[in-house]
A and B are shown apart, each in its own frame.
Chain A
Amino acid sequence: MNTTSSKRISDQMNRQMSLTPRWTETLIMAFQSVAKVKGGLIGAIFISVMLLSAICAQWISPYDPNAQNIIQRFTGPGTAHLLGTDYLGRDILSRIIYGCRIAVLVAFGAVSLSSIIGVFLGVMAGYNEGKKFDYFIIWLFDIVRSFPQIILALAIVAVMGPSLVNVVVALAFTAFPFYGRIARAQTLSVKEADYVKAAEAMGQKPLTIILRHITPNIMAPVIVCLGMDMATMIIWESGLSFLGLGVRPPTASWGIMLRNGYKYIQVSPWMILWPAVAIALSMIAFSLFSEGLRVALDPKERER
């Protein structure tokens, strides 16, 4: 008992002494409080299951997602194939699990790429408030935000050619101004803080100030946005794949499964139903989770 408490104190001291960026602590605290919010925990558990099945797809899926079995096609849910089979006799459950991997991969890739670019540009613009560079960045953000997002993504993929990487790039391109605007607005308030002024007075370079002192302190609202954006990206990945402009078949993606299901809608309802359920569950998970995150990070909400 004594040892653990003293360990905790020393941990705490270490944390205060060391130069750990503040936002990692915010992140850990946020996750702890998300778990306390009703629904947030359910969302977190759902997302963990999704991540696990994305990572361990090859070990937990009962069949090879591309193994065809023409004799057993269009079967409904049963013991051999838990969720049934599609038009080539491929196991739907295995394809859902592998589709989860694609969804997570695209969403994670697009969200990280767009948030890194967006936050960097936004902080740079906010730090140079009122200068030409700031106006240029605001202009750039406003241009990209003018497009209906999915239509712009569709056009970019159409021009560059459909592939996993191009989908990630296109989705990231449509989303970065949203992070940029948040980051810029936050920077405008943070850069007036005393510790930034102190760093400036010490003669630190602007880039150092931006990366070490401003960026870590504006991350909380960005992180809330990340959670919600993951869900949007999952929808858009499957939407683009549904149109045949996303991941290439025979890769298992929820969108491609829906596309095939739409072709055989008269024959088997299961080919549409299961991917739709998968998308619906992941959407619910992310919205519960990000709602929890929002409540956890918003002091006004926490009082309720």
Chain B
Amino acid sequence: MLKYIIKRVLWVIPTLLGVLIILFSLTYLMPGDPASAMLGPRATPELVEELNNRLHLNENMPTRLGYYLLGVVKGDLGTSVWSGHSVSSLISSSLPHTALLAVSSLGVAAVIGVFLGAFSAIRQNSPISRFVTIVSLLGVAVPDFVAALLLVLLFCVKFPILPSIGAGTDGGILGIATHLILPATALGIGWVGYLSRLTRESMVDVLDSDYIRTAKAFALPQRSIAYVYALKNAIIPTITVIGLGVGKLLGGAVFVEIIFNRPGLGKMIVDAVYARDFPVVQGGILVATILFVLANLLADISYGFVNPQIQYD
């Protein structure tokens, strides 16, 4: 187990190195001269020259890669071509908004989803079980950005009761909370459906197993059999899915943040894409990727702890 953890952690290093190489080589995919592409059609030759020097675009490829890797290792992600702010300062101001959105939507969705799934597995054919079927179908049918649009249409245009723009940082805790409801719902609804169906399936399997029959034979209370003995094992598949889910969540946050105009990481990346502000795009994607890699690492490792049956070679 320890050997596996060490191997798994060390594997992150070459992976992240490869991620950096891909992010670096994206500049080569740009049609034409990257500096003039970033500065737009009205750039003067002096400006282009200056940017070329600043981003080391005149050097040969290995040197540029070296500069880029060195910068990232030192924690310097470059500066924004447009605003002149350092990319790391832009990221540190936008990341909390995305983190809050992601954590609140996935957290609430996981609690609701696991509970609904477990409950509907215990009481099959109950109204809750049918509700889970409908919600999970809805979650599959309506991707997060469509859900966001429909929520805006319903709660901001038809019945204007919730705010639709910004993160509400001026309004204190209450402002932040009300501004979080719609985006978090849009991001989380798919997860409620998915997790409840997943939990229900594995819970049904677990309730069928021998050790539950034994527990029943020992006349343990129904409730503790279901929620203590069964749920503990039924929750295992959910953990890996949540690890993978961080990637989907960050992707979904891009759309949700654009639609609700939240100043988060996703909106920063897309705005930088529109402005052809390449250092910001690179930095934003790098941070999103690191978060995703860490989440997967945690999920992989915790999987071994919750399920001791798993053997690693």
- C-beta contact mask, A250-282 vs B, less than 8 Å → 1, else 0? 000000001001100110010011001001110
Q: Which residues of B contact A155 (CB under 8 A)?
A: 23, 26, 269, 273, 281, 285
Choose, from A48-56, A145-153, A209-217, the stretch at the interface.
A145-153
With an 8 A cutoff between CB atoms, is B16 at the interface? Answer: yes
Q: Which residues of A contact B247 (CB under 8 A)?
A: 147-149
Interface range on chain A: under 10, 10 to 19, 20 to 34, or 35 or more? 35 or more
The secondary-structure label for the interface of chain A is helix
- C-beta contact mask, B248-287 vs A, less than 8 Å → 1, else 0? 1011101100110000001001100110000001000100
Cβ of A28 to closest chain B Cβ, rounded Å: 27
Q: Which residues of A contact B252 (CB under 8 A)?
A: 150
B153 x A269 contact (CB < 8 A):
yes
- Within 8 Å by CB of B18, from A143, A150, A152, A160, lies A143
A283 x B141 contact (CB < 8 A):
yes
Cβ of B19 to closest chain A Cβ, rounded Å: 5
CA distance A283 to B248 in the complex (A): 17
The secondary-structure label for the interface of chain B is helix
Count of CB-CB pairs between chains A and B under 8 Å: 127
Task: Tell me whether A151 and B285 are in contact in the complex, defined as CB-CB below 8 angstroms, given that A239-B255, A276-B142 are known contacts.
Answer: yes
A235 x B288 contact (CB < 8 A):
no
B29 x A160 contact (CB < 8 A):
yes
Cβ of A129 to closest chain B Cβ, rounded Å: 14
CA distance A287 to B139 in the complex (A): 11
B285 x A283 contact (CB < 8 A):
no
A287 x B140 contact (CB < 8 A):
yes
Cβ of B73 to closest chain A Cβ, rounded Å: 18
Cβ of B48 to closest chain A Cβ, rounded Å: 18
B150 x A272 contact (CB < 8 A):
yes
Q: How many residues in B have their beta carbons less than 8 Å from beta carbons of A?
A: 49
CA distance A159 to B23 in the complex (A): 11
Task: Tell me whether A151 and B288 are in contact in the complex, defined as CB-CB below 8 angstroms, given that A158-B281, A161-B31, A269-B158 are known contacts.
Answer: yes
Q: For chain B residues 1-36, which have a beta carbon within 8 Å of chain A?
A: 11, 14-16, 18-19, 21-23, 26-27, 29-31
CA distance A283 to B142 in the complex (A): 8
| Chain B residue at minimal CB-CB distance from A144 | B22
A284 x B292 contact (CB < 8 A):
no
With an 8 A cutoff between CB atoms, is A245 at the interface? Answer: yes
Q: Which residues of A contact B237 (CB under 8 A)?
A: none
With an 8 A cutoff between CB atoms, is B71 at the interface? Answer: no
Q: For chain A residues 119-175, which have a beta carbon within 8 Å of chain B?
A: 139-140, 142-144, 146-152, 154-156, 158-161
Q: Which residues of A contact B26 (CB under 8 A)?
A: 155-156, 159
With an 8 A cutoff between CB atoms, is B70 at the interface? Answer: no
CA distance A246 to B187 in the complex (A): 22
- C-beta contact mask, A219-235 vs B, less than 8 Å → 1, else 0? 00000000000000001
A280 x B251 contact (CB < 8 A):
no
B270 x A261 contact (CB < 8 A):
no
A243 x B281 contact (CB < 8 A):
no
A143 x B288 contact (CB < 8 A):
no
With an 8 A cutoff between CB atoms, is B40 at the interface? Answer: no
CA distance A155 to B21 in the complex (A): 14
With an 8 A cutoff between CB atoms, is A242 at the interface? Answer: yes
Residues of B within 8 A of A (CB): 11, 14-16, 18-19, 21-23, 26-27, 29-31, 137, 140-143, 145-146, 149-150, 152-153, 157-158, 246-248, 250-252, 254-255, 258-259, 266, 269-270, 273-274, 281, 285, 288-289, 292-293, 296
Since A149-B248, A276-B150 are in contact, a sample of 20 more A-B pairs with Cβ atoms closer than 8 Å, ordered by chain A residue number, is: A142-B18, A143-B19, A146-B289, A147-B22, A148-B251, A148-B292, A149-B251, A151-B266, A151-B269, A151-B289, A156-B26, A158-B273, A158-B281, A239-B143, A243-B255, A245-B273, A262-B152, A281-B141, A284-B141, A287-B137
Instruction: List 27 A-B residue pairs with CB atoms under 8 Å apart, sorted by A's residue number.
Output: A139-B18, A143-B15, A146-B18, A147-B19, A147-B247, A148-B246, A149-B251, A151-B251, A151-B269, A154-B254, A154-B273, A155-B269, A155-B285, A159-B26, A160-B29, A239-B145, A242-B145, A242-B255, A243-B254, A243-B258, A258-B149, A262-B259, A265-B152, A273-B150, A276-B146, A279-B143, A280-B141
Interface pairs A-B: 9 shortest CB-CB: A143-B18, A150-B251, A148-B247, A280-B141, A158-B273, A148-B250, A235-B143, A159-B29, A283-B141
